A and B are shown apart, each in its own frame.
Chain A
């Protein structure tokens, strides 16, 4: 459903991605793992058109080349949402306003109301803090808001950039349980993580990204058992 071919991205003279190729099927959970600076965030930003891919790169979703779309249409027309690294919630807006804003381009008011209820049902803490300024939320709650916001903005694919970052273990479990529910609602998930063990346990398939290149790929179970992966990413 999403097929990335020979994706290359450069920041000025620095090339962050050296032509990577991967694909995701409808309904799947796929992860990309890699160390700091491997190019994980860049990959997601290129799909969302927040950064332009170099010529020759192909990002095809349902037969459409994403490179032809402006960033907002990726979300509003194609339903590809993105939870950015570091959450980026709007701290000056209330929790409710953050969610309302994420429905900016949607015309189906009833469905939006339903989606909001659903977000509150998987993240009851957000409901309790509905009218609070988002900057007063704890880190974990901000992550919930970022995920909830993405769910409302577009439901076909959700791109997740390190949702585990800064979460206590218990909260992390809750978060991944919620992501599982989102996937069961029919949303395909592309997860990017430094926490490889967590990501591979959650995803069905994985790719290993090193210095802008995919060096390994396969079903999660295989990657978890792979000695190289064990050594480099799972602490031996």
Chain B
């Protein structure tokens, strides 16, 4: 029982990463009918931006110009990196995808893969092959709750992830921009007839997804402080699987499936040897998708039309 709860804590942490990244895939798909295959690498860029922001803020603290506690540096890092990475996402949309809006979807998918490779190799060219280590902003404290070890970092990671999802939910349900996003997901073609610029909403969608990916990148850096240019590939694909599992375009589905993926992975690893983990975890997901091809929260038939 104790080990169950121990695994649950770990599953929640991994689920947080997957869910935050999956949301970006799902929003972009829901609104622009596009799988943004560069999204895993946008997560990577977010982690690197976080690294530089945190390092910069720490340098200021050391030089004595300002004295900030570690948690505050972390908080500022998350906020600043989210803002900067949203610009990265909007640039990717503007340069990579907007010219292809009416092109066959396969062209956009291929472009996404190429943008991903450019981000990876661009990083490699700029920063060299050595790995960076994310600065330890907060000291690890371990609490023992009824035999289950929980660290302050894990609580923080899950807490920040859930908080951001709540904010996203409020944004999408309560603001006029969120309303426009939902409307655009339903009927892309006539959005301009409402006086809403399609390009604005497209940029906003990419910006939001990339901001969440940056948050995921920093939280990941807090838990696993080694950054390398290819760190976004595997986790990006897994989050993509979560987005599909949740149901393409479903926000709730992406969040839920992100956590579900964390659970399936962690609990598979408790039963099978760790080298079998992904093989078995993803076979399970394949089986789920065989029975629910539209994902857990996806619509069986999408009435959406692009004219």
Binding site for B on A (CB under 8 A): 48-50, 70-72, 74-76, 81-82, 84, 88, 90-93, 97-98, 100-106, 149-150, 153-154
A93–B183 touching, CB < 8 Å: yes
- Whether B193 is near chain A, meaning CB under 8 Å from some CB there, is yes
A90-B182, A104-B176 are contacts. A82–B193 as well, Cβ < 8 Å?
A: yes
Collect the chain B residues with CB atoms within 8 Å of residue A75's CB: 192-195
The 3 A-B pairs with the shortest beta carbon distances in the complex, nearest first, are A71-B192, A76-B195, A105-B195
Partner of B197, one of A48, A70, A98, A106: A70
A72–B179 touching, CB < 8 Å: no
Query: In angstroms, how far is the closest chain B Cβ from the Cβ of A43?
Result: 15
B179–A97 touching, CB < 8 Å: yes
A72-B198, A90-B187, A92-B185 are contacts. A153–B193 as well, Cβ < 8 Å?
A: yes
B195–A104 touching, CB < 8 Å: yes
B195–A72 touching, CB < 8 Å: yes
A72-B195, A72-B197 are contacts. A88–B189 as well, Cβ < 8 Å?
A: yes
Which residue of chain B has the shortest Cβ distance to A82 in the bound complex? B193
- Whether B196 is near chain A, meaning CB under 8 Å from some CB there, is yes
A81–B186 touching, CB < 8 Å: no
A97-B179, A101-B179, A101-B180 are contacts. A106–B186 as well, Cβ < 8 Å?
A: no
- Whether B118 is near chain A, meaning CB under 8 Å from some CB there, is no
A75-B195, A84-B193, A102-B195 are contacts. A92–B179 as well, Cβ < 8 Å?
A: no
Interface size class of B (residues with CB under 8 A): 20 to 34
Collect the chain B residues with CB atoms within 8 Å of residue A84's CB: 190, 193
Query: In angstroms, how far is the closest chain B Cβ from the Cβ of A115?
Result: 13
Binding site for A on B (CB under 8 A): 176, 179-180, 182-183, 185-187, 189-198, 303, 307
Collect the chain B residues with CB atoms within 8 Å of residue A150's CB: 193
Collect the chain B residues with CB atoms within 8 Å of residue A70's CB: 192, 197
Collect the chain A residues with CB atoms within 8 Å of residue B183's CB: 90, 92-93, 98, 101
Which among A71, A82, A98, A150 has the highest number of chain B CB atoms within 10 Å? A71
Collect the chain B residues with CB atoms within 8 Å of residue A98's CB: 183
Query: In angstroms, how far is the closest chain A Cβ from the Cβ of B97?
Result: 18
Partner of A48, one of B179, B187, B193, B196: B193
Query: In angstroms, how far is the closest chain A Cβ from the Cβ of B84?
Result: 27
CA separation between A84 and B195, bound complex, in Å?
14
Which among A72, A92, A93 has the highest number of chain B CB atoms within 10 Å? A72
CA separation between A92 and B307, bound complex, in Å?
19
Partner of B176, one of A74, A88, A100, A153: A100
A101–B186 touching, CB < 8 Å: no
Collect the chain A residues with CB atoms within 8 Å of residue B189's CB: 50, 88
Collect the chain B residues with CB atoms within 8 Å of residue A149's CB: 194
A72–B196 touching, CB < 8 Å: yes
Which residue of chain B has the shortest Cβ distance to A102 in the bound complex? B194
23 A-B pairs within 8 Å (CB atoms) are namely A70-B192, A71-B198, A72-B191, A72-B194, A72-B195, A72-B196, A72-B198, A74-B192, A75-B193, A81-B193, A88-B190, A90-B182, A92-B185, A97-B179, A100-B179, A101-B180, A101-B183, A101-B194, A103-B195, A104-B195, A104-B196, A106-B195, A150-B193
